[in-house]
Amino acid sequence: MCFLCPITDELADLFLRTDSLGGGSPWEGALLPHLHKGLPAAKSREVFKAGISGVDIHCMASRPIVLLVDDDPNMRELLQTIFTLDGRFRIGGCAVDGFEGAMLCADVQPQVVVLDYFMPRWDGEKVALFMRQHSPETKIIAFSAVIDEAPAWADAFLVKNDIGNLVPLVDKLLAQSAA
């Protein structure tokens, strides 16, 4: 088990298996090449299970805050795992629907929100409009399997099948904010 987060060997196997979830998952193989570029699968699992290495605990508070808003519990867990393993981000919260995401954003004021479009209570567009009023500096990534082009309310857009490009997209948004 990782000392920084509650990750078990079973969870590591679930997310790092290149034939994950019977081979039909939209994120199949997305984590492995992104997290441990160039490492063979067995070595990547070993690094993962050993915990997050190379993270400077003294600078953890200065890491950018990412809020995750998706109604699919498996996708929320996958997103949380991706950002946790990267080690450069703090998870500001994981919301189960649009309304909860809007309230968390107003409270946490994250630098970036990964926002699903089609959710119960409030959809992504309604959430984004609320976030623009209550957290205007927050960058919003529309993250959807339903829409196929960037909506006007988002700063960036990513189809869920391209989840391996999420962290580089967050990096790009943060670099634009700093400039």
SS3 state at 77: helix
Read off the pLDDT of each residue in 15-33 and give the average, rounded to a whole number. Answer: 44
Same domain, 166 and 79: yes
pLDDT attached to residue 120: 87
The two tokens of residue 95 are 């919301």
pLDDT attached to residue 46: 53
Give pLDDT tens digits for 82-95.
999 999 999 999 99
Instruction: Say how many domains are in the chain.
Output: 2
Q: What is the separation of C-alpha 103 from the centre of its chain, rounded to a whole number of angstroms?
A: 18
Task: Compare 62 and 20 and report the one with higher pLDDT.
Answer: 62
Question: Is residue 117 assigned to a domain?
Answer: yes
State the DSSP code for 75. Answer: H
User: pTM for this structure?
Assistant: 0.68
Q: Give the range of the structural domain holding residue 126, as residue numbers without chain letter.
A: 57-178
Q: Which segment, 2-6, 20-24, 105-109, is predicted with the most confidence on average?
A: 105-109
Q: How far is the C-alpha of 162 from the C-alpha of 165, rounded, in Å?
A: 6
Give pLDDT tens digits for 45-59.
554 444 444 444 445
Same domain, 42 and 61: no
Question: Is residue 3 assigned to a domain?
Answer: no
Same domain, 43 and 95: no
Same domain, 116 and 159: yes
The two tokens of residue 72 are 């699919």
Question: Is residue 1 assigned to a domain?
Answer: no
